[in-house]
Chains A and B, each alone.
Chain A
Amino acid sequence: DTAVSQTPKYLVTQMGNDKSIKCEQNLGHDTMYWYKQDSKKFLKIMFSYNNKELIINETVPNRFSPKSPDKAHLNLHINSLELGDSAVYFCASSQDRPSGSPDTQYFGPGTRLTVL
């Protein structure tokens, strides 16, 4: 059984289009994340949602809008796609520790977005 799944795995689209990437976790975790792997292979955090509430928004352009319909899902919608949005996007989830900070993150397989 897949713990954290993302769809689609590959997405090729034209500049200016609007697209969505879906993420689902079946681990019962409280927190979900979106990361962007940049051209230098760095993983950079974009958003964190804890119990469906946005808690981290890392200076991402407002063309990127995350939506969490429930604790198991965190979707990423991107408006007016630009060439620079081409990257691999990873979703992840984690359980909260008793201290309130998140535990180990489990990553999805990634979505490779190519904007032409």
Chain B
Amino acid sequence: ILNVEQSPQSLHVQEGDSTNFTCSFPSSNFYALHWYRWETAKSPEALFVMTLNGDEKKKGRISATLNTKEGYSYLYIKGSQPEDSATYLCASGGFKTIFGAGTRLFVKA
């Protein structure tokens, strides 16, 4: 059984701050690592999927890295904006995808 852990559980930052979150997962039988953004009262939206050790993905101010050997991924947000406030989920696995509990980000203007 996979255990996907995310930290911190929640984060309060000021507009303009840069921030990062951690996702850890078992490195054995690795298929893929996904990051999703989940706004309140909506459904999760995909940010990145990474499959290879050392993968780095970027979308605007958001980027992610992957280390499959040690079983962790980082998500970075540069210059946080209030509209970045959401829960950021990571998930690992193939057809049996295991989600972490998420990091709840609050960005204050």
Where the two chains meet, the residues of A that have a C-beta atom closer than 8 Å to any C-beta of B are: 31, 33, 35, 40-45, 48, 50, 55-56, 58, 90, 97, 99, 101-110
Contacts and interface: CB of A to CB of B under 8 A. Distances in A.
Contact of B97 (A42, A105, A106): A105
B101 A102 contact: no
A56 B95 CA distance: 7
Given A90-B43, A110-B43, A101 B95 contact: yes
B32 interface: yes
Interface residues of B, number: 21
B26 interface: no
Interface string B49-82: 1010000000000000000000000000000000
A109 B38 CA distance: 11
Contacts of A45: 96-99
Contacts of A41: 87, 101-102
B105 interface: no
Contacts of A58: 96
Interface of B: 31-32, 34, 42-46, 49, 51, 87, 89, 91, 94-99, 101-102
B31 to A, nearest CB: 4
A33 B99 CA distance: 13
A101 B101 contact: no
Contacts of A40: 101
Given A103-B49, A104-B49, A105-B34, A43 B94 contact: no
Contact of B96 (A43, A56, A108, A110): A56
Contact of A109 (B43, B89, B91, B97): B43
A87 B42 CA distance: 15
